Amino acid sequence: MALKRELVISEIYKAAREWLYDNDYLELITPRVVRASGACENVNTLYTVSANGDSNWYGNTAYLSQTGQLFLEAHVPALKRVFCDGPSFRAEGTVDARHLTEFRMIEIELATNFDGLLDQIQGFISHLVSHIIYVNQSKNLGLSEERIRELKTCPRVFSQITYDDAIAKLQAFGIKINWGDDLKHTHEALLSVAYENQPIFITRFPDPMWDHGKQIEVEKFFNMSPDKEHPGRVLSCDCILPYSGEAVGSAERIADVETMLARLQNSRMFKRLVEMGGSVDDFGWYADQLRSHGSVPHAGCGFGMSRITQFILGEHDIRNAVSFPSNRATLI
Amino acid sequence: MALKRELVISEIYKAAREWLYDNDYLELITPRVVRASGACENVNTLYTVSANGDSNWYGNTAYLSQTGQLFLEAHVPALKRVFCDGPSFRAEGTVDARHLTEFRMIEIELATNFDGLLDQIQGFISHLVSHIIYVNQSKNLGLSEERIRELKTCPRVFSQITYDDAIAKLQAFGIKINWGDDLKHTHEALLSVAYENQPIFITRFPDPMWDHGKQIEVEKFFNMSPDKEHPGRVLSCDCILPYSGEAVGSAERIADVETMLARLQNSRMFKRLVEMGGSVDDFGWYADQLRSHGSVPHAGCGFGMSRITQFILGEHDIRNAVSFPSNRATLI
């Protein structure tokens, strides 16, 4: 029986929502045309939006959102567990098997700590995998028996390795990599294979806002909590999946407005934003929200749904995991 | 008890998905950065998207999608019933209680005829209303007893009036309006009141591609089926809700590629698109799809979720029906 990709994708989203509702998440509809508060760590890949040829139509530069994170964070104190579900846009020029200029992301934010966050991530992914295994036959999804057999070996609790240990392990494999370097796709793939080709968590990345005595390559969103037990690290976690690589980025967040603003203004992202004509005003509404309503300890993540789909399908090319692949060469 | 808007919104989306899954719709993830094939009838309100200051970064002008309709239509022959759920963008300069520059739309397309389509629309809206009535107390949504009492009077089968009869009725009310004119929000509100202040269907609008012997104001998407029983009319239907007005646009679609292309090139939208530098190439992928896979009789609609929410809440200002209102004056 042939694989029916659109059926699989639809079942994955259905299972995702089922999990979100069963785990008491409320859906927020977050805006997708925004100021720079909708950026991830890299403002260079922001699209700008114009109306009638005017890129200042809104009175400020308008960007396409890469994340709804801050919009979700603003509602955590009142609602406890929230999610959003929509397109994430990245002006990535590379046309290959790994990059899309637009992909669907489901993001969650909740009042919890770092360990609680990791529980949510592995719970979500495990539920999707279980659901597809369960309905593959009854709904005629067409996943091969071999792929179903492989998916059945996916653990419910994922192996964890710190960034520091990951670097040491890669060096032991003979890879030329230094502490502070970014983990490339090939590095992630090697680590995943080292853990029986299963999903893994890489945790506690270097804090770019810490004085390491040298410039480091790792960039992380400014709004991550420093790890008190491991100075110079942040409480962040990437989930690496077989086939697709980094499919989830996550962290415990900053809850204090002054710390948030100080870290923002210390970030490399902010320097680039200022060069682009932006300022701390781009984050003004969020700072105001924290000042007027405060916050609570919380954490969250973004599930890259196309990469999760790619993993479930066992596809080497992400373009085979979406119905309408978007990249610089294929605008329809 | 105070109204908890975010809880109501989340329950509305939950009920919407429940209805879609129960009625065998499959979710498609449609692109939001597109060529003009993502436009509704008005290409003048398209946003353009640039990367690195280049509005031709994709090799063609890239727009923000207003509808995923054609992307859904392309999959109806194989999948029968499909939906998409995402932001719709309109560069509307008006800042008032009725307009947003970005709102959430759930769109459906299915292999059915015009009457079958109207059944789906009233089924969807009725389910949302019933769900909110049902959970208002148990989930502490905070809708007033009065609003719940009003919602309970909402019929499961909506009154229908043709565009022709609507014009005659408005003229009988003493309104200055001519056949061929657009129905303005005040007209829709009057008609809704005339039907006991309940949702109504206005059907069979004038066909802009028909020779009426004069220019008419009504504009409709080119891809609507002419009504064989009523020459010069299309099988289209707007659903008008109390409080919010037009909340759903719908039609039976063209299934034949040559008819589709002829109507496209005869439309006022197309003339404007050509002035903007576009061409029939913007719809090339969809024409290719119809040529290679054919189509089946089908119909569909877009549910303006913010206007449906506004109706359920009984709010006069749409900005009170969304968590982050988007208009030209409020970019955050």
Verify whether the Cβ–Cβ distance B29 to A55 is below 8 Å: no
Two structure tokens written together for B173: 């009310």
Q: What is this structure's pTM? A: 0.97
Q: Chains A and B: how many Cβ contacts under 8 Å?
A: 156
Closest B-chain CA to A82: B10
For chain A, positions 6-35, list CB contacts with chain B under 8 A. Answer: 6-7, 9-10, 13-14, 17, 21, 26-35
Quickly name the fold that domain B5-321 has.
Answer: BirA Bifunctional Protein; domain 2 (3.30.930)
By three-state DSSP, how is residue A132 classified?
helix
Verify whether the Cβ–Cβ distance B14 to A21 is below 8 Å: yes
pLDDT, position B1: 61
Is A42 an interface residue toward B (CB < 8 Å)?
Answer: no
Chain A nearest-CA distance from B49, in A, is 5
Verify whether the Cβ–Cβ distance A78 to B33 is below 8 Å: no
User: Each residue of B212-223: pLDDT tens digit?
Assistant: 999 999 999 999
pLDDT, position A158: 98
By three-state DSSP, how is residue B109 classified?
strand
Q: How are strands ordered across the β-sheet holding B33-34? A: A33-34, A62-64, A47-51, B47-51, B62-64, B33-34
- Strand-pair partners of B248: B239, B303
Query: What percent helix, strand, coil does chain A show, rounded to 5?
Result: 40, 20, 40
Q: Which of A65, A38, A37, A60 is nearest to A50 (CA)?
A: A60
Which one of A33, A82, A106, A288 would you mutate to disrupt binding with B, by most B Cβ within 10 Å of its Cβ? A33
Q: How are strands ordered across the β-sheet holding B26-27? A: B26-27, B81-89, B102-110, B299-304, B245-252, B236-241, B200-203, B159-162
Verify whether the Cβ–Cβ distance B50 to A51 is below 8 Å: no
A126-151: buried (b, 16+ CB within 10 Å) or exposed (e) per residue? bbbbbbbbebbeeeebebeeebeeeb
Is B89 an interface residue toward A (CB < 8 Å)?
Answer: yes
For residues A245-269, average pLDDT: 96
Closest A-chain CA to B287: A332
Domain ranges within chain A, ordered by starting residue: 5-321
> Which residues of chain A have a CB within 8 Å of the CB of B32?
32, 87, 89, 102
Q: Which of B62, B78, B331 shows the shortest C-beta gap to A35? A: B331
CA distance A185 to B253: 45
Interface TM-score (ipTM) > 0.85: yes
Two structure tokens written together for A40: 């991830």
A35-59: buried (b, 16+ CB within 10 Å) or exposed (e) per residue? bbbbbbbbbbbbbbbbbeeebebbe
Residue A145 confidence (pLDDT) above 80? yes
pLDDT, position B162: 98
CA distance B30 to B39: 13
> What percent of chain B clears pLDDT 90, i.e. is strictly above it?
97
Place of tokens 């037990």: A229
Give chain A's end-to-end CA distance (angstroms, integer): 30
CA distance B32 to A328: 14
For chain A, positions 255-294, list CB contacts with chain B under 8 A. Answer: 285
Average pLDDT, chain B: 96
**A2: confidence class by pLDDT, cuts 50, 70, 90:** confident
**B188: confidence class by pLDDT, cuts 50, 70, 90:** very high
For residues B81-107, average pLDDT: 97
Verify whether the Cβ–Cβ distance B6 to A78 is below 8 Å: yes
pLDDT, position A300: 98
Question: Can you spell out the DSSP letters for A244-307?
Answer: TEEEEEEEEBP--HHHHHHHHHHSHHHHHHHHTT--GGGGHHHHHHHHHH---S-EEEEEEHHH
Chain A nearest-CA distance from B173, in A, is 39
Verify whether the Cβ–Cβ distance B29 to A9 is below 8 Å: yes
**B42: confidence class by pLDDT, cuts 50, 70, 90:** confident
Is B50 an interface residue toward A (CB < 8 Å)?
Answer: yes
